Amino acid sequence: MPDINSFPDFMADWDRLIKAVDNNQQSLPDLAGLVGPLSAVLNEARDLHAIKAAARAQLGQGAKRTRILIPDGRAAASRLRAALVAHYGNHNEILVQFGITPVRSRRVRQQVDPPPPVPPVPVPQPE
């Protein structure tokens, strides 16, 4: 028996085993007590696999819808921000509440008085 590692491989192996037992039922003793629980587990595994596949498909649809919603949302938010700026004006500080940076006047740098000039130190001249 080869190494079985994945869930679909287990399901395929169980399905083959059940079918083989059903095909050879005449030559085998009554194994219904053993085949029944395996059939129940296989049916539950198939249902679970179908649910997981549906969830993956729904997740893909959700991701696709998200990729569509983001540009639509950005455009709607941009229009709303433009309307707020138009209503309040570019300079109003209320815009900060909406996440919009208002246009602020430039700060005028105060003139710093330059330090008084240092008188040059006389250098002695060689004679």
Cβ atoms within 10 Å, residue 95: 19
- 88-119 pLDDT tens trace: 899 998 888 888 899 888 887 777 777 788 88
Confidence of residue 54 (pLDDT cuts 50, 70, 90): very high
Q: Is residue 88 included in any domain, yes or no?
A: no
Alpha carbons 46 and 90: distance in angstroms, whole number: 61
Residue 126 DSSP symbol? P
Alpha carbons 82 and 101: distance in angstroms, whole number: 12
Q: Is residue 87 included in any domain, yes or no?
A: no
Q: Is residue 116 included in any domain, yes or no?
A: no
Q: Is residue 101 included in any domain, yes or no?
A: no
Q: Is residue 94 included in any domain, yes or no?
A: no
Q: Is residue 113 included in any domain, yes or no?
A: no
The residue assigned the tokens 């029944």 is 36
Q: Is residue 95 included in any domain, yes or no?
A: no
Angle, alpha carbons 46-49-55 (nearest 5°): 145
Count structural domains, the chain.
Answer: 1
* Residue 23 belongs to domain spanning: 7-70
- 80-94 pLDDT tens trace: 899 999 998 999 988
Q: Is residue 79 included in any domain, yes or no?
A: no
Angle, alpha carbons 22-13-50 (nearest 5°): 100
